[in-house]
Structure 1
Amino acid sequence: MLLAVLAAVSVTGCADAGGLHDAGSAQPVTPHPSPSPLWPGTVGSAAASPAPTPGSPHPVPGVTVPEGDLRNVDARTLLLADQTQPLENFWLHSMNGCRTTSLCQVEPAQYRDLTGDGHLDLITAVLMPMARTAFLNVYTVQDGQAVPILSTEVQPGFSAETIGTDLVVHQLVTPLTERSTTYRWVPPRLSLVSQLTTPVTPPGGPTSPPADTTADALPEQSPAAPAPSATAGSTG
């Protein structure tokens, strides 16, 4: 009888050890964020690497954000009131000109959540063709006020996109080299976290060399040497 009980316990233990257990529902798979372009643009001439304005950000004076939504704020009004802009006197002169002349162009405001707080941030750019420069600006909202979290000088022909909460800016370094700069939210501002330089394809893509150029590139053969047979050529 004792042997039977021991055998039953042994079988039960083996069944528990090797049996299947319900570990609960599987964790959902989060898709990798894809690029979301901000403004279409053609990359222009080479320029220095963008450099964000240093210092801690402060709210833009005299500008409130109704309902805490930056979509309720006029981008031009916000830019004019922002006293943290580089080259402040030149900036204000040019921005005032944006209202009445073609001295500069304010790109339409774009909205992305770059801080990850669930609220949309405002991204805009000011193009100044006469000065051959441009400024990229990003604002977030804190306590009902607009706070600049990035202001950097870029090329007039730059392009930009967001990938998740990253802001990526593309500019030419040379006619055949592009630099991609990534900014990421590192409180209290967007900070430069990486730069990648890659070759770019010339307009129209790569072209085949002329026939005579291809022939000239082949090694010269002695006139007495027999021409290679088709079979030899096919073996590489």
Structure 2
Amino acid sequence: MFPSRPARAVAGASLALAAGLLLAACGDSGGLVSAGATATASGPTRLWPGEPPASSPAYDYGEAETEVVKGVKAPGGNIRQVDPVAVVRAEIAAHPEMYSGSDAVYAGTTARMADCGGGAERSRCPVLDAYYRDLTGDGREDMVLGFRLLPGNQTAVRMYTVRTDRLVQVLASDDAVLAVELAGRTVIIRSPAAIVGYEYRTQWTWDEDQLAMLLTRDEILRVGRSARPSPGGGTTSAATPRPSSSGGPR
């Protein structure tokens, strides 16, 4: 059925009105306005291209060093059967120049190991709780262990995995620590910086080729406001980063 004449007239008027509104909108100040030409992206510029590139590192950081823990076994490959205190004692025995010599930097740690029994002094033990997580991707748990490096304020962070019942250290980091976090197969260590309102974050990730945890990121990040003069003549203190609590199963 075709529309009657009155209906056609109404439809025509409606179309004319819509067209008028559309034309009016095109001239309105709220229409699309060009933002100008897009800035050209610039890639990195190499400096001193004529200088020969270095063929070796300036320092040996021991990035991929691993160490078999002597005298400590993991029965059946179960790392939860390993005593964390025994692991720290094994490190102390393997490195007397650091822990028990006349010039030992961390002699305080060795002295406090006597408090790691089951007595009332257990809270003085420098060995922290161990955490277990599959960080190597082999389907088995690995162990992240920490202990205080005394008499200073540093903390030793270690990670161990099991290879045919042998306990192998695959990460070793000593630093002043705000927090240690596990994210996926990565260990993140947060440390205070000398600049107010900033902190360091180092990220260690498992490397299949080196069979070790490699330092894959080392950065300084702003985490709060820097201290600056306030209108009253004083200073506004920076926000102090708070250590994060460890979550999840140990």
Question: What TM bracket, shorter-length normalisation?
Answer: 0.5 to 0.7
CA change 1:93–1:52 in 2 (3 A) is farther
**Counterpart in 2 of 1:16?**
none
Question: Which residue does the alignment assign to 1:98?
Answer: 113
Question: C-alpha separation between the residues in 2 aligned to 1:54 and 1:86?
Answer: 21
Tell me whether 1:76 sits opposite 2:96 in the alignment.
no
Map of 1:183-198 to 2, 5 A cutoff? Answer: 183-186=204-207, 187-198=210-221
Which residue number corresponds to residue 122 of structure 1?
A: 143
For 1:95 and 1:188, the matched residues in 2 are separated by: 30
- How many correspondences in the alignment? 159
Deviation of residue 114 (structure 1)? 1.2
For residue 171 of structure 2, what is the aligned residue in structure 1?
Answer: 150
Structure 2 contact 109–151 (Cα < 8 Å) conserved: no
What is the alpha-carbon root mean square deviation over aligned residues? 3.2
Take 1:53 and 1:85, find their aligned partners in 2: how far apart are those partners?
19
Shift in Å, 1:150: 1.0
Q: Does 1:164 align with 2:184?
A: yes
Could you say which residue in structure 2 is the equivalent of 1:61? 70
| SS in structure 2 of the partner of residue 62 of structure 1 | strand
**Which amino acid letter does the alignment assign opposite residue 109 of structure 2?**
S
**Alignment-derived partner of residue 26 in structure 1:** none
Match of 2:44 in 1: none
Question: Distance in 1 between the 2:162 and 2:168 partners?
Answer: 6
Residue 69 of structure 1: how far off its partner (Å)? 1.1
Task: Tell me the residue number matched to 1:181.
Answer: 202
Whole-Å Cα distance in 2 between the matches of residues 129 and 92 of structure 1?
7
User: Structure 1 segments of 4 or more deviating over 6 A?
Assistant: none
Overall identity of the aligned pairs, in %: 22
| Structure 2: stretches of 5+ with no match in the other structure | 1-59, 116-120, 234-250
Partner Cα distance (1:104, 1:128) in 2:
11
Higher relative contact order (CA 8 A, sep 6+): 1
Structure 1 residues 167 and 84 mapped into 2: Cα distance closer, same or farther (>3 Å)? Answer: farther
**2:109–2:150: 8 Å Cα contact kept in structure 1?**
no
Which residues of 2 match residues 199-218 of structure 1 at below 5 A?
199-201=222-224
TM-score (norm 2): 0.55
